[in-house]
Structure 1
Amino acid sequence: MSKSEVLAKFETLASIPHCSYETDKMRDFLASYAKDKGCEVVVDSFGNVHAFKGKPKICLQSHYDMVCMGDAPKIEIVYGDDGYMRAKNSSLGADNGIGVAIMMQMISEFDDIECLFTNNEEVGMVGAAGFSGDLKADKLLNLDSEEDDRVTIGCAGGVNLFATISLNSKKTKESTLYEVKVSGLPGGHSGNEIHKNIPNAIKVLAAFVTKNGCKLVKFEGGERSNSIPSGATALVLSDKELKSECENLSVKKLGMGDEILENGEKILALINSFSQGVRAYNCELGIPQDSVNLSLAKIKDDGTLEVEFFARSMSKDGLNRMEFEISELAKAVGFNVISKDRNPAWKPINDKFANDILEELKIYKPNARITAVHAGLECGVLLEKKAGLSACSIGPNIYSPHSTREHCEVASALFIEKVVRGIVKKYNS
């Protein structure tokens, strides 16, 4: 078997559009592929593709949607001399496309195998939350981790908060109208990279507007609910001439205007007073305990501005506390707030299954260890679907997911394939 079969499968996946919420073509492709390999396939109303054959002892699981940034879903894969693959001017989709490609390979090799391809993970684990199928195996191996020397046995819970306020306009004295834009910030994953103090474009823009005494006409920013915003745009009125302060902030004079947002000051007050990033650190696990990302500010069809926050915590109490604090802050400045897409924290359990995977991983990574992550994994949701289910997560080295800087180590992807093959063989014997 050529070592490039998984990479070839990943290239095929990259050629099929599969941005979150736009996954029909990928769903149909995966269902057809699994049927061709002899699997019984169940596709549910959430777009989950559940494939199984024989008497599987282990279920492999990955999500097949991706965060589309830059030119995606047009993805042009580039293999670098440094051993990494990237996409030209777009996110790569190695999160979680490498996992999907490995699962496809295992379906082609084994007669006793179960694979669950979940849909719309990147927008609130919608598919996993809606899955009601009958898992055949009592062991679940998720392939959505992004560090190849770790067996993940726990993850953060998460909740999205949506704060809305009306966008009614009012007349004011005529002033110069400017477009102020923040662009080209690094962005990144709001869980795995929240500790890196990556600047949030929405907050950068709001601070500039406020510090320069501008009046708000329009405000939008962010890309995805689980990404640190890399761009934001505002229209403002100003009595003084505005000038750019840095290369990532541009100012363009548009003419004159005499209308501003009635709630402009409240919008800026919420964004400026919100504390972005890590709220508490877990020294035992060596990862953040609690964090919040200001994800999006977008104008809705009903004439309101919606500001979205994504809170994460390694504990239920921590998540409840942050949900309360953010909600009270938004209400205090005049917003209405609702919470959605709550996902449970996955409490770490170091069992035999975890140690079997660790043993296999150590063949290639002697310093591999068992850990937990400050990000959402579908294991936490799926564990609630079947009593007695054991779960772990592994994956290749993937850096800067959810951004145009996403890159995956090729050698890492190939050895994770070997680890998965070894685990399936072990549990099938």
Structure 2
Amino acid sequence: MQIKAKVVTEMAEKVLFPGDTIGIVGDSPNGIMMVAAAKRLGFKVIVCGSNESSPTMQAADVRIVGTSKEKLQDFAERCDLITYESQYVPASVIEFLSRFTAVPQGKDTLEITQDRLLERAFFEQINVNIAPYATIVSLDDIYQSVSSIGFPCILKPIQKDINNKHQAVIKRQTDIAKVADIVDLGTYVLESLISFNKEISVVFSRDYDGELKFFPLTEEVYHGHDLNRVLTPARVTNDVEEEIHRLAHQIAENINYVGVMQLSFYLTDSGSLYVKRMVPAVSPTGYVFDKATLVSMFEQHLRVLARMPLMTTELVEPTAMVMMTDDDQDSIRTQWVLKDNWSYNFFRYPERMKPRPAGYVLVTAPTIDAAEEQIQATEIWPDETSE
């Protein structure tokens, strides 16, 4: 075991060159874009997942189907390093893979963020603002907690899930009885719904020495629980941007992570910031940088892992990203023949594993206000109340 640990350490310190092998775990739409970025850099790509028909699998040089320990070990031993492309890949899988090859992102931060209680405890420990919350194991806990948390509040299971199942907004006392059935299913977090002006995110890379490189700040708009659009640059003051960068440094100093990640914040009318979430992986928010900056989020992530020089992440042009669903397809056809500043990326998934977003549109403009006005003028994506 000591010999194996030494080999893994040496691999973690290795510079990757064209022809070396990167392993990718996961089947989300992030995966196919990660594969494409890796191939452009000249790397061989091996993908391990549970569904052979996923686009990520289809694009790989080598596919390993299955997640048994034997399959995972075989996968790891073929790779110079491995990256996971989604925050929903089980931390236990990453821990096992780390025994056989380098996984620079590690499993520690992933483990924290996959459990809402661990995540909140982490933020409290390093003294950053989060929404008031309580741990819920019974309906009585909700009745007792709302007196301090207040209405409206949201009930979330402690384990994060890509489908946001079993979440419920509680707006008044009479709503509490309506969540009795889901509370019986496990442990929950009851969290105050912060009254905010904007949701702001920062995507950045953290290298092996702990140095951070920031992409431009983004604004996010949600329809219910679903990300609808991302705008960059975010329309915030210099003071807010500096405070977000300070908080990112504070959080990054306390985690064991290498690669690109995201921090999201609620910005209130008074200018206060509350941490909403931490995503230790590439995320849909970063799709906007396909056009907004000279380097995509995916290439920058791979450059960090491979110990390559990082590219500049300065803004090239204001860009808005809008997620598309199948319901938007007919409306998109009109814009398809009209807009010369719209770029499209469609997720080509088999019907049985198709994600809710069908893809995304990137809109560039002289200002971010102009980009958003153009999107709203189409009336394809009417504004809705976010979470």
The alignment's TM-score, normalised by the length of structure 2, stands at 0.30
Query: Bigger relative contact order, structure 1 or 2, given CA contacts below 8 A and separation 6+?
Result: 1
Computing the radius of gyration from Cα coordinates, the structure with the larger value is: 1
Higher strand share: 1
1 or 2, which has the higher helix percentage?
Answer: 2
User: TM-score w.r.t. structure 1 length?
Assistant: 0.28
